[in-house]
């Protein structure tokens, strides 16, 4: 949120309220900035460049895993469950963020929008991950905190798990009809039997 707010200030644009920004978190920056500002295509490159500068300056030290999620990821990795990340964040910052969280070694694949023809909520990224993992899309469980994650999962034919502690509200997530919804990491651990 801080990076978005700082970006809008530097661009001399009105800073949208938090709810408006949150609605767009989970899709690539270009779509997010276009949705929030209504900017023309030619103005988006400057917005994205500014946002990336802000992110580099702020760093990732303040970004921490949700409580309990590292333990769930480590337990799944120990059981040799193939884990992957399907993010709308570009590799330019995604890889560094995951490394800073100390989670890189647990994921077989870390994928961003560069790794598929179309971004979330289209299923392309999840289908590409399934292919790279050698798994049928129907055997995947897409765990996400935005409607875009759940829609991507549905589009790929995967099972979906909406987690309610992230960016989108429980009621917003419920409207996408996830396979299952969990309210904390302890509930997720029970669901995944770890």
Q: How confident is the model at residue 19 (pLDDT cuts 50, 70, 90)?
A: confident
Residue of 125, 138, 130, 140 whose CA lies nearest to 28 = 125
Could you give all domains of the chain from N- to C-terminal order, each with its CATH number? 2-58 (1.10.150.240), 69-192 (3.40.50.1000)
Residue of 167, 147, 169 whose CA lies nearest to 22 = 167
Over residues 21-35, the pLDDT tens digits come to 877 777 777 778 788
Structure tokens that stand for 44 in this block: 């988006």
Separation CA 173–CA 180 (nearest Å): 10
Q: Is 28 exposed, middle or buried (0-12, 13-18, 19+ CB in 10 A)?
A: buried
Over residues 62-91, the pLDDT tens digits come to 788 899 999 999 999 999 999 999 998 888
List the beta bridge partners of residue 155: none
Over residues 107-124, the pLDDT tens digits come to 999 999 999 999 899 999
């Amino acid at each position: 949120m801080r990076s978005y707010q700082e970006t809008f200030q530097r661009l001399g644009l009105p800073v949208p309220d938090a709810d408006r920004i949150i609605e767009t978190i989970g899709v690539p920056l270009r779509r997010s900035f276009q949705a929030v500002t209504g900017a023309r295509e030619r103005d988006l490159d400057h917005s994205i460049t500014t946002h990336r500068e802000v992110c580099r300056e702020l760093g990732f030290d303040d970004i921490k895993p949700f409580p309990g999620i590292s333990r769930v990821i480590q337990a799944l990795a120990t059981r040799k469950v193939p884990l992957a990340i399907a993010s709308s964040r570009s590799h330019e910052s995604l890889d560094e963020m995951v490394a800073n969280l100390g989670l890189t070694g647990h994921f077989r694949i870390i994928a961003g929008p560069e790794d598929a023809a179309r971004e979330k909520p289209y299923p392309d990224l999840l289908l590409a991950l399934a292919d790279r993992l050698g798994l049928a899309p129907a055997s995947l469980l897409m765990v996400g905190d935005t409607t875009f994650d759940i829609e991507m999962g549905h589009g790929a034919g995967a099972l979906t798990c909406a987690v309610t502690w992230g960016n989108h509200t429980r009621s917003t997530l419920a409207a996408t009809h996830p396979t299952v919804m969990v309210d904390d990491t302890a509930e997720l651990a029970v669901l995944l039997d770890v």
